[in-house]
């Protein structure tokens, strides 16, 4: 059986996440405690108690989801459950990179702490929104976004999750106008997401540049022994010739091509998709294809 591990991004958070694993497994306790020591954040309190308003802040959400995923992952590893292919959605890619050994646990925690801070704070002052568009052809979504953008209203596709779901991101008024147009165009549903920024768009250019400086401090260990990790930006595997710093810098401002990651896993004949995180959030994309 060919298995792939999938790691979720923002939107998967929920107050109480990881508590059951923490209480039951020493491996999970070690991860939460170690991550709190490295980051200087009480990740356990943040995940288990919230409050939701704090948990939903980007600078908190990213580290909370990553640590929860890594804690569950350690329990699976202790039970001999592994995978040869892995990928994540947005911040989930960092969990995949830690699992693969490309980034160390400590550097992964430090990176995601800074990434969350920059993405939550280094954005132009405005109101932003993201929304998932379900059941509408991506070409029509792109057409509507381009139409509004040509009118000076900022909204763009940010996450190509699967053939039946694309997430748009941008300024709140533009996204809300897009939602109405997308519904009229035949979208089955359009769902606003629990995020606070125009993620994976050009609006995060300052955050991307600041994060690039953090990446310069990191040692990446990319060799043939690593678990294969699929890149968000283009749906291909990381390889030893990649400039990982450049890829992860662009990652913040580039659309997530999870649809291409799914296509690659299908071509690799993956028959078991295991999502490791607070709740089922992206596994369904692989089923919908």
pLDDT at residue 242, rounded to an integer: 94
> The domain that contains 136 carries what CATH number?
3.30.70.250
Q: How many domains does the chain have?
A: 2
pLDDT at residue 285, rounded to an integer: 82
pLDDT at residue 102, rounded to an integer: 96
> The domain that contains 66 carries what CATH number?
3.40.366.10
Q: Are residues 24 and 135 in the same domain?
A: no
Q: Are residues 99 and 115 in the same domain?
A: yes
pLDDT at residue 195, rounded to an integer: 73
Domain closes at, from 145, 170, 192: 192
Number of Cα atoms under 13 Å in the Cβ half of residue 166 = 25
Does residue 200 have an active-site annotation?
A: yes
pLDDT at residue 114, rounded to an integer: 98
SS3 (DSSP) at 171: strand
**176: containing domain:** 128-192
Find the catalytic residue in 90, 169, 208, 254.
90
Mean pLDDT per 10-residue section of the chain, whose length is 289 residues: 93 94 98 98 97 94 97 97 96 97 96 96 93 96 97 97 94 96 97 84 97 96 87 96 96 97 95 92 73
HEC string of 179-194 equals HHHHHHCCCCEEEECC
Q: Are strands 165-171 and 155-162 parallel, antiparallel or unpaired?
A: antiparallel
pTM for the model:
0.94
In a domain, 169, yes or no: yes
Does residue 251 have an active-site annotation?
A: no
Q: Are residues 51 and 116 in the same domain?
A: yes
Q: Are residues 154 and 266 in the same domain?
A: no
pLDDT at residue 289, rounded to an integer: 53
Domain closes at, from 150, 172, 192: 192
pLDDT at residue 100, rounded to an integer: 96
In a domain, 197, yes or no: no
Find the catalytic residue in 69, 100, 196, 200.
200
Q: How far apart are CA 181 and CA 179, in angstroms?
A: 5
Nearest 10 degrees: Cα torsion 178, 62, 14, 57: -70
Nearest 10 degrees: Cα torsion 193, 196, 201, 202: 160
């Amino acid at each position: 059986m060919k298995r792939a591990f999938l790691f979720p991004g923002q939107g998967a958070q929920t107050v109480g996440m990881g508590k059951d694993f923490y209480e039951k497994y020493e491996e999970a306790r070690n991860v939460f405690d170690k991550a709190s020591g490295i980051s200087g954040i009480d990740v356990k309190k943040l995940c288990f108690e919230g409050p939701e308003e704090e948990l939903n802040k980007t600078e908190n959400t990213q580290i909370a989801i990553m640590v929860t995923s890594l804690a569950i992952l350690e329990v699976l590893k202790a039970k001999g459950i592994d995978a040869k292919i892995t990928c994540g959605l947005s911040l989930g890619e960092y969990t995949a990179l830690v699992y693969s050994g490309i980034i160390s646990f400590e550097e992964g925690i430090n990176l995601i702490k800074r990434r969350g801070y920059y993405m939550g704070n280094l954005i132009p002052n405005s109101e932003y929104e993201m929304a998932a568009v379900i059941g509408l052809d991506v070409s029509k979504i792109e057409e509507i976004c381009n139409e509004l953008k040509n009118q000076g209203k900022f909204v763009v596709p940010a996450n190509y999750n699967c053939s039946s779901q694309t997430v748009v991101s941008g300024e709140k008024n533009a996204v809300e106008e897009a939602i109405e147009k997308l519904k009229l165009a035949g979208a089955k549903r359009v769902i606003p997401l629990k995020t606070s920024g125009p993620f994976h768009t050009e609006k995060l250019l300052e955050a991307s540049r600041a994060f690039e400086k953090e990446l310069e401090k990191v040692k990446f260990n990319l060799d043939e022994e690593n678990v294969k990790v699929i890149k968000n930006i283009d749906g291909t595997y990381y390889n030893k010739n990649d400039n990982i710093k450049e890829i992860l810098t662009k990652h913040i401002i580039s659309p997530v091509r999870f649809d291409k990651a799914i296509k690659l896993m299908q071509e690799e004949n993956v028959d078991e998709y295991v999502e490791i995180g607070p709740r089922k959030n992206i596994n369904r994309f692989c089923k919908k294809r």
